[in-house]
Structures are given as structure tokens and as C-alpha cells.
Amino acid sequence: MKNFKRTTFLILFLLNTLFPFAQNNPKLKLSIEEMFALADSCSRSIHTFRIAEQEAEQAVRVAQSARMPTVDVTLSASYLGDVWLSNRNLSNGENAPMPHFGNNFAIEASQIIYAGGAISNKITLAKLQQQLAQLDIKKNKQDIRFLLVGNYLEMYKLKNQSEVYQKNIEQTRKLLSDIHAKQNQGLALKNDITRYELQLKSLELALTQIQNDITILNNQLVTVLRLPQKTIIDVDSSLLNKLPQLSNESHWQETAQNESPTLQQSLLSIKQSKYNEKLIKAERLPSIALLAGDKLDGPITIEVPPINKNLNYWYVGIGVKFDISSTYKTVRKIKQAKFSTQKAIENKLLFQENLMTVVKEAYVRFNESFVIYDTQIKSLELATQNYEVINNRYLNDLALITDMLDASNAKLSAELQVANARINILFNYYKLKKVSGNL
């Protein structure tokens, strides 16, 4: 069902953006989920890990092929020189005629029926490697998603800041116009104009820096999503309408223990080490194979004089191979493999401890973001009340325009902080999902 939804989205995405991309600077509005779906399908990094998974899958087939019979065929033709006969002390030597054309054809098939578990253990190790490759894809997906959502939300913050700075610039320009008018009336000093002109330049510089940061973040998103370079990504402002709920820490700790790809990889590493032990122990066991073959040789050179005829014979049987030196050579290998298993177990326990700590930290920050949001809501209420009071006084000529601008800027800043606090809740939520392996 998930793949169907993803495919449907991509089809609609391509249809909806086919004509806009003909423009010089096409705009594309993406939600976070749409961005994730696009990254899963288009990210070059994820594609690379998928190829690694296919490589591991092929390695499983290669390991399984060891269970198939082995067939060897040899065919040769040769020129045989004459025979030379002599006494044992190399005296009285003489030549003897020899058929000069020699031929050999042999075919032999063997099927291993017992190898001490070596073949099955190698197949299992290959399958474990395939699972590790699949977990690499999952981990890479989450890394890419967290990178995207971090840039996406940061770009949202910067766009909010850009709007605030634009309003501040607009108000400062209005204030400068009023001061110029008062200076002409002799009610303002040149120093007042200089002060606000410096403030205007500072605001314009800050706005330029924010817009450059937005351009950089937009380029990073476009590159990861493999969109046309001139695409302008527009954030979905509706994402702040519904904030995530604050659940219990135990839920996230349990999710991390079950879903963390790195923890699952550490468990697979333990299994790999244990199967490596079995594989080394299998070297101390004999291998048994069924044999069948047929050979055609000529001429027959074991007779003197040689017989210029072909000799054909076939055979079937059972073969046993046992490396006697393995009984004392593999002792150290087995001990080394056991240390590797012990190290893998300790690494898993260490990662579990670190995972619990990281999830705890992310949960505390997530909880803290709600407290910050509540604080900013209260600050906005106070800033709004102050603005209303100053506005009424200004309308009644009881306050200066600078007081009005300060109150307006404070209200705009409070509104920005509320929006940023909501974005911060989302960021910490996605970070908590990332560290718990559920992004």
C-alpha cells in the first residue's frame, strides 16, 4: 500500500511539474511527506545503497551455488616424442618408436554431501550480510530524511524572519520619511536621520544574509532531491496547523530498541561472529563427496612398446577429504573468533546504553520545546497588549512614532518567536523519530 501511494505521488508530481519546469525559476510546493517520498525514489545516496543491497543479494546466490554439483571437463591433444631406453647406469641407450599423436578427454562430476556445515554457514553469513545491506538502506534513508527536514524547517524559519525584516525595513523607511518632514519643519535633528539610516542599512544587510541562507538551503534540498537546479522549493505553511502530541518517554525508548537500524546491525554482527566460529570449526571436520567420471586416453604409454590405441574407463564412488593439520591449526582461529563474538556482544551493549542516552536527550528537548512554545505564546499576548496600548496612545497623540514602531517590532518579533517555537517542536519531534529509528 505504501509503495502504491509513493508511485501515485510521483506520477502526479511529474504531471503537475512538467510544464512549470519550462519556466526559468519554477516554484514547487512540497510537504514533508512528499519530500520524503521524492527523496526515497530520487536520492543518489539511497540509490547507491540499493545497489549495495543487490550486490549482497547476488552474494547469497553465489554462496548457494556451492550446493550444486561440480563438473570438470578436460580435453587435450599433444605431440609425443620417441621413447629412449637404457640400462640403469644409462648405458646401451636406444630409441623406440612411439605414436606421436596423443589425446586426452576426461569428465568428472562431484557432489558434496557433507562438509561439516561449511556451506550452510557461508550461505547464512551471506544472508546476514544482505540484511546488513538492507539496514544500511534504512539508516541512510533516515539520515537523508533528517537532513532534508532540518533544512526544510530551517528554511521555513528564515522565510519567517525575512518577512519580519521586510516589515521592519518598511516601517523604518516610513519613520525616516516622517523624520525628514519634521527636519524640514525644524522639529528633528540630522543625528536622528543618521541613526535611523544606519538602522535601515543594518536591516537591509541582515535581510540579504537571510535571503542568501535561504538560497543555500534551497540548493541543498534541490540537489538531494535531484530537481532542476533553478527550482525554488516553497514550504508548506499548513504543517504548523497540527503539532505532534507529547507521548511517554517509555514509548520512544521501546521504539528505539525495536526499530533502530544500528542496533539491529549490532545484533546481526553478533550472529555473524557466531557463524564465523561454526565455519572455523567446520575446518576440523572431513568433507564427503560423491564422484563420477569417464576418461579417454591414447595412446597407451604404460606398455613397452606403447600401444597405439585409446583406453576408455569410467568410475563412480565416494571421496573423503580430511585436513589432519586442521586439528591443531584451527585452535587459535577458534579462540580468535570467540574474542570477536565477545567484542560484538560488548559493542551491542555499549550501543544500547548510548541509544538510551540519546533518546533520553532527544525526548527532553522535545518536551522542552513545548515549554518554550507556551512561553512564547504568553510573550505574544503581552506584546499584543502592549501594542494595543501604545497604538491607542499614539492615535491620541500621547506617544511618539518611535514608541509605536518599537511596540510594532516587539509584536512582530513575538509572532516570529511563536512560529519558530512551533517549528522547533516539529524539528525536535523528527529528531526524536530519527534517533529512535522511526523516521
How confident is the model at residue 185, as a pLDDT?
Answer: 66
Burial class (CB in 10 A: 0-12, 13-18, 19+), 107: middle
What pairing do the DSSP bridges indicate for beta strands 94-96 and 70-79? unpaired
How confident is the model at residue 375, as a pLDDT?
Answer: 93
How confident is the model at residue 24, as a pLDDT?
Answer: 60
Please state the pTM of the whole predicted model: 0.79
The residues near 63 (Cβ < 8 Å, ≥ 6 apart) are: 119, 122, 123, 125, 126
- Give yes or no for a contact between 56 and 126, defined as CB atoms under 8 angstroms apart: yes
Class of the CATH-defined domain 236-284+330-439: mainly alpha
Specify the CATH number for 69-114+287-321; select among 1.25.40, 3.30.460, 2.40.10, 2.20.200: 2.20.200
Instruction: Report domain extents, the chain.
Output: 1-13+27-68+120-170+201-234, 69-114+287-321, 236-284+330-439
**Grid cell listed for 341:** 563474538
How confident is the model at residue 183, as a pLDDT?
Answer: 67
296, 377, 396, 3: which is closest to 11 by C-alpha?
Answer: 3
Provide the greatest CA pair distance for the chain.
141
How confident is the model at residue 15, as a pLDDT?
Answer: 42
- Which mean pLDDT values do the consecutive 10-residue runs of the chain (439 residues) have? 48 45 68 89 88 91 88 90 82 82 88 84 89 90 92 91 85 78 64 77 89 92 89 86 85 91 92 90 87 88 82 88 82 89 93 93 93 92 90 76 79 86 92 91
